[in-house]
Structure 1
Amino acid sequence: MSDRRTPVVLVPSLSRELGATVAGALLDRPGTVVVHHDVGQLGQGVVVRSLSGPGPARETTVLELAHGCLSCTLRLDLLPLLRELAGRDGVERVVLHLDPALEPEHLCWAIRHVLLDDGSGTAGQAVRVEAVLAVLDAATWLDDATGSDDLADRGLAATADDERALAQVAVGQVTSADAVLLAGEAADPWEALRLSAVLDRLVPGVPRAGTDTAPEALLAAVGGGARRGRPTSAHDSLLPGQPPLHEDAGVRLVRIAPRRPLHPGRLHDALDVLLEGVVCARGRLWLASRHDTAVWLESAGQGLRIGDAGPWLAALSDPAWDEVDAERRVAAALRWHPLFGDRHTEVVVLTHRRPADEITAAFAAAELTDEELTLGPDGWRDLPDPFGRWHEDPCEASTPADDDSTHATTREEHS
């Protein structure tokens, strides 16, 4: 049975201009509508939405939000708009030119899961993600993805308290992509080779091309196994797509898999090795002080996040296993330990300047010693843990509004 939902193409880029150019080129296909939300004034509760095609008019709408946040922008306007456009005559495809502050992975999740306020269900019942087409500036992306700037340093932050790292967003746009379009050229052949080596390992198998290739042609190269907005899990494979494991232009993937649980204090010190000379890292940690909980690690450039990845399967009751993804159960069975079950540490690091032996040595030093190991799980819980409680954003799109006064008003202009 064919999927009758309206296809949506997401076009993320750190450059509003490059994103606009590529999204505009996609208007050449009949029935395409391009939507852009400019969140540059979100801190003042204002979002400017533009809508182009089909037809000659470009429609601009100024939204005034009672709560100036990205989540409210999605829930109160973008998601309902997608559902409306899907039912509009003449609209055969929607292209979302994303503001740099709007991360494609979160938006894809919201399309699938966030219930609309009018009770009509989710936007995903009317639209489907056909592809995420990331647009990179070949001259600057690698520096952005490995640097220390925040979005605010580049004037890209959504609000005054938006403290996200530029590298986090740069890497996230690419890892969410089903196709990558490279605009311009790297500074020199060596930097071009390094950029290619990073992308080969970051998104193996994802088609990419320069701007001499039409965006439509690049989208046509997206394969059947593409993510197309499918969310990833902390327990998915950390090496999807069979990336090359050899070193190229100083770039390589380093897999870390110590056999013992990690001491929280020494791990905290070891993580400094990921903050210089590394493009990104991601993985699961078996932290001795949190024996029943998988810990998720994610870094990009000089920013790093630690979070709760849920309980290990060994800590669940038998009935709870029925709710667990089959692939995770299989992976757990393959690594099952008679005492510790599926608890393990596995981290994959994409390094471009940091030597691999420095990374592996830092994590090896964080493993429990023989003496510490004899304390057992009850003793491990008393180890000093510097990681504290997990951070939770109080204004996620999946949560109810702060109060019943949350609303949006609009002023429309046509040009």
Structure 2
Amino acid sequence: MEIVVNKGADVTDQRVPVVLLSGLAADAVAEVARQAAADPSTAVLHHDLREVVQGVVRRTLTHGEYTATEVLELAHGCVSCTLRQDLLPVALRLAEAPDVRRIVLHLDPALEPEAVCWALHHVVVDGAVATERLRVEAVVNTIDAATWFADAIGEESLFERGLSASADDERTIAQVVVAQVEFADAVVVSGSAPDAWTAARTDAVLDRLAPELPRADLPGLDLDALVAAVPPRARRGEVGDAHEPLLRGQPPLEPDCGISVVLFDERRPFHPARLHDALDVLLDGVVRTRGRIWVASQPDAALWVESAGGGLRVADAGPWLATREDWSEVDSERVAMASLRWDPYYGDREQQLVVITHLASPEEITAALHDALLTDSELAEGADVWRTYEDPFGEWHTDPCEDSGDRDSALRTGREEG
């Protein structure tokens, strides 16, 4: 494939560049890391989390001809402790080394790059956050063409595959592989699909999950060229929130190889019980769901919904702007978009869901969601009555490590739930 180099990088930024390598295709990711380590000015840092639940993490550092593996014994066997107590401090020490011009973080398969980037931007180490000395140059996700599509639509859990990062890690394989691609700035494709139909469907899903991402094949990878091809609008480690645009990079909306995109955009609220009953339509035959909703029983709260394969999560996305008097600390892009769509009755409250399907009927999904909206008579009853509805969406996950300075939910999924 032809790679077009982005020449718009900020050459005045003196922070040490960091490339994150992610993916469940562990052997392929390791090969990309080995290629990166061939540059003597690049330090490659890897934390093996296979025994993290027992409080054991194996850290391997490679720099030039130097390679060393050290076993770390942590007081609390969790991903957040690994990041806070070792990965971030070691990366910052490497940034001070005069012979290190790039740091590559070779992530454990179960560790999502969004979680690491959140930590880089928010976790304080020695009085400062890591991004004061480090900048994310690119997040590179590696997929196995033979298995990625099956993983993205499957229901197998990380635990079942022996990849869970904690005792309470309930993520599915699909949730991880889809989220890794969505957050990436570039994709490396290893191996080959078992047949032309799988290859075409894989490409169709990737085109809709991450339409602007440059892709390169392994073998034959030129990592420097791939990183240089990352488009100017790429995330580069910036962790968004639930109110950022749902369609990044203008993905194709027309069906391709049975892969379709459903856009659900409505103003009136969902009835909580009917919505709860309808959620199965966002699971069966669906690759990915992402979006913001509001339920009548919580008229002040925006809720975030995401699904992949057989896993679904609903989380608190904070208050709607219509309920806030002070917008001074609200992201300017969110304010601008809300102002353009402002409704005199609903304000910025709305249902916005993007659903990528592979077997499910787009018409059936739209119809099921429409049926879960309040009827005209229910709408006329008003918010005082809505608040009395039985609400299955009213309780949220509580972080067990509240003193850690970050949140366990963010470290597992990259998005805060409280």
Fold equivalence (TM over 0.5): yes
Q: Which aligned pairs between 1:155-304 and structure 2 lie closer than 5 A?
A: 155-211=162-218, 212-304=220-312
Does the CA-based 8 Å contact 1:75-1:397 persist in structure 2? Answer: no
**Distance in 2 separating the partners of 1:71 and 1:128:** 20
Residue in structure 2 matched with residue 8 of structure 1 by the alignment: 18
SS of the residue aligned with 2:160?
Answer: helix
Compute the displacement of 1:112 (Å): 0.9
SS of the residue aligned with 2:141?
Answer: strand
**Distance in 2 separating the partners of 1:268 and 1:401:** 26
SS of the residue aligned with 1:281?
Answer: strand
Compute the displacement of 1:390 (Å): 1.2
CA change 1:10–1:401 in 2 (3 A) is closer
Compute the displacement of 1:363 (Å): 0.3
1:334-356 deviations in whole A, cap 9, x for unaligned?
Answer: 21111221110100001111110
Residue 210 of structure 1 aligns with an amino acid whose one-letter code is: D
Residue 99 of structure 1 aligns with an amino acid whose one-letter code is: D
1:275-308 deviations in whole A, cap 9, x for unaligned?
Answer: 1111110100021110011111011111000011
SS of the residue aligned with 1:152?
Answer: coil
Residue 54 of structure 2 aligns with an amino acid whose one-letter code is: Q
1:152-203 deviations in whole A, cap 9, x for unaligned?
Answer: 1111112333222111111111011000001011111111010000000000
One of 348, 360, 374 as aligned partner of 1:354: 360
Residue in structure 2 matched with residue 365 of structure 1 by the alignment: 371
Q: Does 1:315 align with 2:320?
A: no
Does the CA-based 8 Å contact 2:123-2:406 persist in structure 1? Answer: no
Does the CA-based 8 Å contact 1:110-1:397 persist in structure 2? Answer: no
Compute the displacement of 1:330 (Å): 1.3
**Distance in 2 separating the partners of 1:133 and 1:336:** 37
Residue 189 of structure 2 aligns with an amino acid whose one-letter code is: L
Residue in structure 2 matched with residue 394 of structure 1 by the alignment: 400
Does the CA-based 8 Å contact 1:132-1:179 persist in structure 2? Answer: yes
Residue in structure 1 matched with residue 87 of structure 2 by the alignment: 78
One of 55, 76, 96 as aligned partner of 1:45: 55
1:57-104 deviations in whole A, cap 9, x for unaligned?
Answer: 211111110011000000000011111000012011011110012110
Does the CA-based 8 Å contact 2:290-2:304 persist in structure 1? Answer: yes
Residue 196 of structure 1 aligns with an amino acid whose one-letter code is: D
CA change 1:207–1:401 in 2 (3 A) is closer
Residue 337 of structure 2 aligns with an amino acid whose one-letter code is: A
Q: Which runs of 5+ in 2 are unaligned?
A: 1-10, 409-418
* Identity among equivalent pairs (%): 55
Residue 131 of structure 1 aligns with an amino acid whose one-letter code is: A
**Distance in 2 separating the partners of 1:159 and 1:240:** 31
Residue 253 of structure 2 aligns with an amino acid whose one-letter code is: L
Residue 63 of structure 1 aligns with an amino acid whose one-letter code is: L
**Distance in 1 separating the partners of 2:383 and 2:45:** 53
Residue 111 of structure 1 aligns with an amino acid whose one-letter code is: L
With normalisation by structure 1, the TM-score equals 0.93
Compute the displacement of 1:210 (Å): 1.4
RMSD: 1.6
Residue in structure 2 matched with residue 146 of structure 1 by the alignment: 153
Does the CA-based 8 Å contact 1:200-1:243 persist in structure 2? Answer: yes
With normalisation by structure 2, the TM-score equals 0.92
1:103-148 deviations in whole A, cap 9, x for unaligned?
Answer: 10010010011011xx331111111110000000011111111111
Deviating beyond 4 angstroms after TM superposition, the runs of 4 or more aligned structure 1 residues are: none
Q: Does 1:19 align with 2:29?
A: yes
Residue 377 of structure 1 aligns with an amino acid whose one-letter code is: A
Q: Does 1:330 align with 2:339?
A: no
More displaced stretch, 74-83 vs 121-130:
121-130
Residue 100 of structure 1 aligns with an amino acid whose one-letter code is: P
Does the CA-based 8 Å contact 1:193-1:249 persist in structure 2? Answer: yes
One of 69, 72, 76 as aligned partner of 2:78: 69
Residue in structure 2 matched with residue 87 of structure 1 by the alignment: 96
**Distance in 1 separating the partners of 2:348 and 2:231:** 33
Residue in structure 1 matched with residue 411 of structure 2 by the alignment: none
**Distance in 2 separating the partners of 1:12 and 1:244:** 25
